[in-house]
Amino acid sequence: MRNYNILIVDDIVECIQTITGFLEESHPEYRLFQATSGRSAMHSIELTTFDLILCDWNMPGMTGIELLAHLQSGEKTQHIPVILVTGVMMNPKDLDYALEAGAHDYIRKPIDPVELSARVNSALKIVSSHHQEIERKNLELVEKTLMLIKNHEYFLELEKKIHNLEKISGHIKEARSLVNEINLELEQKIREDSWQHFEIAFQNVHAEFSKKLTTRYTNLTPGEMRLCILLKLGINNKDMSTILFQSPASLRVARSRLRKKLQIEDKVNVQSFLVAI
């Protein structure tokens, strides 16, 4: 059973205690967090990954709708379902407005424990489905990465055979020219096809990564973008050398150049920096 992280946001402590008490009794496996304002909720969201947020609608400083808008604008938070809790905004127009703003559901005060449990369970089913979809996409991405590596390893073996053929052919100019032509065509074909399939799979999982990276760093070359993608995925140096057709020495130079372009301090790990984007 998954231990879900649930954040409860309300400026009235007694309301938080009521919801917490009901959930602890019905689902002791849940990890419950509390925030007494929208601002403190935002701080908690920066530190912890939440599966569900129950938020009071009418709070001073930052309303539940405003917090919801903040969540909707973030790539990492836009999929978190939010249940708005309200004792004031209860007419059908208000509730329609909340759902149109991105709320998953709503619940009225005073809290009914049966209704609370039903709405929380409904939201968490969607969370579970979303996690399964991410896991499926990540598995596809791993498979594409392995295929990319195998294709490049195959090309390297084929390249060796072509070189052997070149030696056997002696000094015949036409044979050497044909061998070189075949070699270039194979290299280009494998590079383009393999990377294209891999990049499509990557974008399905990390849709905003390339967009954010190119927006922040406009001078990155296509080769550096590929290096960023492989670093984000945690591909080891040996496999990166194979995929990028670079020697270990060339790869070290490329990583050093990339660090300077991204303006990363020496104490900061490049991969950790890219994973956070």
Length of the chain: 277
pLDDT tens-digit series, residues 22-55: 999 988 899 999 999 999 999 999 889 899 999 9
Counting beta carbons within 10 angstroms of the beta carbon of residue 243, is it exposed (0 to 12), middle (13 to 18) or buried (19 or more)?
buried
Mean pLDDT of the chain: 82
Q: How far is CA 109 from the centre of its chain?
A: 35
The answer to whether 158 and 186 have CB atoms below 8 angstroms apart is yes
pLDDT tens-digit series, residues 61-76: 999 999 999 998 887 8
Tokens for 175? 């044979």
Sign of CA dihedral 147, 151, 156, 157: positive
- pLDDT of 5 > 60? The answer is yes
Say which residue, 146 or 43, is predicted with more confidence: 43
Say which residue, 55 or 128, is predicted with more confidence: 55
- pLDDT of 223 > 90? The answer is no
The answer to whether 101 and 69 have CB atoms below 8 angstroms apart is yes
Compute the distance between CA of residue 270 and CA of residue 206 in angstroms, rounded to an integer: 18
Give φ, ψ of 108 to 5 degrees. -90, 150
Q: How many helices (H) and strands (E) does the chain have?
A: 11, 5
Mean pLDDT of 10-24: 94
Query: According to the 3-state scheme, what is the secondary structure of 53-116?
Result: EEEECCCCCCCHHHHHHHHHCCCCCCCCCEEEEECCCCCHHHHHHHHHCCCCEEEECCCCHHHH
- What residue segments make up the domains of the chain, in order of their start? 5-111, 134-206, 208-277
Compute the distance between CA of residue 21 and CA of residue 69 in angstroms, rounded to an integer: 28
Say which residue, 182 or 222, is predicted with more confidence: 222
39 by DSSP, 3-state: which?
helix
Query: Could you tell me whether strands 31-35 and 105-108 are parallel, antiparallel, or unpaired per DSSP bridges?
Result: unpaired
| CATH architecture group of domain 5-111 | 3-Layer(aba) Sandwich (3.40)
Sign of CA dihedral 237, 239, 243, 246: positive
| CATH architecture group of domain 208-277 | Orthogonal Bundle (1.10)
| pTM of the complete model beyond 0.85 | no
CA neighbor of 76 nearest in space, from 54, 51, 56: 51
What does the pLDDT read at residue 6? 96
